Structures are given as C-alpha cells and as structure tokens.
Amino acid sequence: MSNIRFVDSVNVGAYTVNNGEGGSGSIGINILENVNNYIITATGYPNIIQGEPNLQFNGLNLSIGGNSSGTSRLEVYHTGSIDNLMLIRNTSTNTGIKVDGDGRFQLLEFASLPTPIEGGIVYASNEFYVGI
C-alpha cells in the first residue's frame, strides 16, 4: 500500500492505492500495469486506474511510444503506419511544424509573410525566409 496524489473530476488529494500486493482490507484504487514512470489515466471503472506503458515520465525525460533511452528529454517512438510523429500547429492558421511518419521535418506554409524576427524561419508563398 502507498499513497498517490492526482486530480480527477471529483477529488483532489491523496488516495490509498492497492496495487495487487494484498492488504489489510482497506478500500483503495487498483492500478493496472506496472506504474514505475508510467503516466496514470482513468479506465472508466470505479476505483481502477491504468499505468500507460507508452507514455512515461521519470521527472526529467518524457517518452511517447516506448521506453526512454535516458539520453533525450523528449523521445517519440514510431512503429507501424502513422501520418505524423509530431505536429505542432496553430489550428486557426494551419501554420507550424511537423515530422511525418518517415522522419521528414516540414515547415507548414504561411498564407502571408508574418512579422520577421531575428533567428526565425518561415515558409510562405513557395519561398523560404530566414530572419538575420
């Protein structure tokens, strides 16, 4: 038994956790999967939460889709068919960056040239701009 703190739609605070090791009969929350560095999510069932093995955070490194190698602060793993490994965009202007499933980096095109900034890079009207 141990205590874990998380926020849900009803409570904020400490919960008694029953992780399958038996106990003194206290009522707690069952955690599915080994939760060492796993992000915990709801399952839709009362008193049961799930450790997500494909989303891990050890306090310093975040890993999506697999185990962190410990050499990067953010790692995104890809297996199988996927359109985008990473997509960062402004939905109102559809501008930003993406890395596709094959690992190709792409700047999403601006409809018009934004205000330039030093060190900025922009793709607009089939032209590439670098702020110097």
pLDDT averaged over the chain? 77
Helix, coil or strand: residue 103: coil
CA distance linking residue 94 with residue 14, whole number of Å: 41
41-90 pLDDT tens trace: 888 887 888 888 888 888 888 888 877 777 788 888 877 777 888 888 88
Q: What is the DSSP string of 110-121?
A: BSS-----TT-E
25-45 pLDDT tens trace: 556 777 787 678 888 888 888
- Mean pLDDT, residues 7-28: 54
- Please state whether 76 falls in left (phi above 0), alpha (psi between -120 and 50) or beta: beta
Q: Which pTM does this prediction carry?
A: 0.56
